[in-house]
A and B are shown apart, each in its own frame.
Chain A
Amino acid sequence: MALTKRIIPCIDVDLDDDGNPAVYTGVHFEDLQYTGDPVEMAKAYNESGADEFVFLDITASAEGRETMLDVVKQVADEVFIPLTVGGGIRTTEDIKETLRAGADKVSITTGALERPELINEGARAFGNQCIVISVDAKRRFDEGGEHYVEVDGESCWFECTKKGGREGTGIDVIEWAKEAESRGAGELFVNSIDKDGTKDGYDLPLTEAVCEAVDTPVIASSGCGGPEDMYDVFTEAGADAGLAASIFHFDEHSIAETKEYLDDHDVPVRY
């Protein structure tokens, strides 16, 4: 046996109308739907065999951040598997307080695009292993990119976006992935704006291009509709971990069922 492919449920945490933490699930980073209590969901996922958790604070407010750290503490005290926390992290102080709350890794998106030195600072202070750089990639079929792959018969590059895909940056995802790695990122978390919430499969050309460009572990995200999509992203694109939200939250497919499918198809999983 060898290193297993990781199955990671992702929980987007917002505040409900009463200011309590709540998990929401969206489509294309919009149309959020209430899904449950984050601590209860984490416990249930732990029992069903999740390999890790990702918590994303989608409140983008100081108040939300406080609540989020409290959720992280509660989860870290209950659940003994790795925990990645992201959302609004912009300074080494943000990284420090998130790790102190019990997170094992922090996921950084905009904060690193706006100030890439944050990756170096974080890696130096806390170790590469806890700095996860997250990209929200969007397919572009114009001349603005540096690395092109063929998608549906057309030449395509991937742009790093901000604000859930609403704002472009002109930065090529592949270039950024390499830079993030050289600055000390320990893991790359690859989201696809085009695939988010669609359940018609991960963005395989995107994931494959990132996996080929870096030696750092890659977590594929966005678009998982079931165990078959996990299989594809592991075997065709070379991802190290597959992240999913809605298929697990709404019990369409359990983690156990997903792992059983992968095991039957000779993908190494912990189970």
Chain B
Amino acid sequence: MSTLAADAEQSLASVVVVDYGLGNLRSVTRGLERAGADVEITDDPDAFADADGVVLPGVGAFREGVENADPIREDLLAVAERGQPLFGICLGMQMLLTASEEGTTDGESAVEGLDLIPGTNVRFDDGQKVPHMGWNELSVERDHPLVEGVDGEYAYFVHSYYAVPDDEASTVANTDYEREFPSIVANEAGNVFGTQFHPEKSGETGLQILRNFVELCADR
């Protein structure tokens, strides 16, 4: 239950950043605040329902992410079901899909993602430098409120796996790292979406995406 000191910015929408014990939430919180959101960091499902939008952040491994988020799994699915904006970032985006090679090749049983955007996260080919780390270009493939004004701009990536949605129409933007891969995905209804890159680390382009997200939350 904390918000970092918001400066003079007026709050346009209330956003919950889901704290399920993974990653550093400070930058994403500060970025959302800069974009005009009133941010609450919490794992309390009651707060999800009251918020204008929910952010699922995350750094680390798919299995650990899914297992850590297991107690709030049904609550996250309810957010999507109610039509609230649900924004997955990096591992948080990968968790919106159904499965990951990362969760099946470590010798343990497979774990299932949220399956809100059906598909699988797969690993970059052997022989490529992994992780894909650094700034790469966004090529917007279709309309979505999240990508207003960011086509052709650069974002900051750090990842070894990438999303392959079952339905090609789930891809909102692609990025080229020796092969083209989906860097922004969304569900058919448009309220569940995610970025493989870190908007909170992607300078002005990232802030633009966060502003687009906050506006989308405010418009509901």
Contacts and interface: CB of A to CB of B under 8 A. Distances in A.
Contacts of A1: 136-137, 176
B180 to A, nearest CB: 10
Interface in B107-157: 127-137, 154, 156-157
Nearest to A186: B131
B24 A102 contact: yes
Given A3-B134, A241-B134, A270-B135, A129 B176 contact: no
A196 B152 CA distance: 36
A99 B134 contact: no
A46 B203 contact: yes
B207 interface: yes
A80 B206 contact: yes
Size bin of chain A's contact surface: 20 to 34
Interface stretch (B25-33, B77-85, B93-101): B25-33
A217 B133 contact: yes
Given A3-B177, A127-B59, A187 B24 contact: no
A76 B33 CA distance: 13
A104 B24 CA distance: 8
A185 to B, nearest CB: 11
A226 to B, nearest CB: 22
Given A2-B177, A127-B59, A129-B59, A80 B133 contact: no
Interface in B178-203: 178, 200-203
A215 B124 CA distance: 13
Nearest to B159: A129
A2 B159 CA distance: 15
Interface string A111-136: 00000000000000011111000000
Interface residues of B, number: 35
B24 A100 contact: yes
Contacts of B207: 80
A229 interface: no
Given A1-B137, A240-B129, A77 B30 contact: yes
Given A80-B202, A80-B206, A127-B59, A4 B130 contact: no
Contacts, number: 85
Main secondary structure of the interface of B (DSSP, over half): mixed
Contact of B27 (A76, A216, A217): A76
Nearest to B155: A270
B24 A99 contact: yes
Contact of B201 (A2, A82, A126): A82
B129 A6 contact: no
A80 B136 CA distance: 16
B132 A3 contact: yes
A270 B202 CA distance: 11
Nearest to B5: A77
A160 B28 CA distance: 37
B128 to A, nearest CB: 8
A104 B128 CA distance: 23
Nearest to B30: A77
Interface string A63-102: 0000000000000110011100000000000000001101
A172 interface: no
A208 interface: no
Given A1-B176, A186-B158, A240-B133, 17 more contacts: A2-B137, A2-B176, A3-B134, A3-B136, A3-B157, A4-B134, A6-B134, A77-B30, A80-B201, A80-B203, A80-B206, A80-B207, A81-B201, A104-B24, A129-B133, A130-B59, A215-B128
8 nearest A-B pairs in the assembled complex, by CB-CB distance: A270-B154, A270-B135, A1-B137, A129-B158, A4-B135, A3-B136, A127-B60, A82-B201
Interface of B: 4, 24, 26-27, 30-31, 34, 59-61, 127-137, 154, 156-159, 176-178, 200-203, 206-207
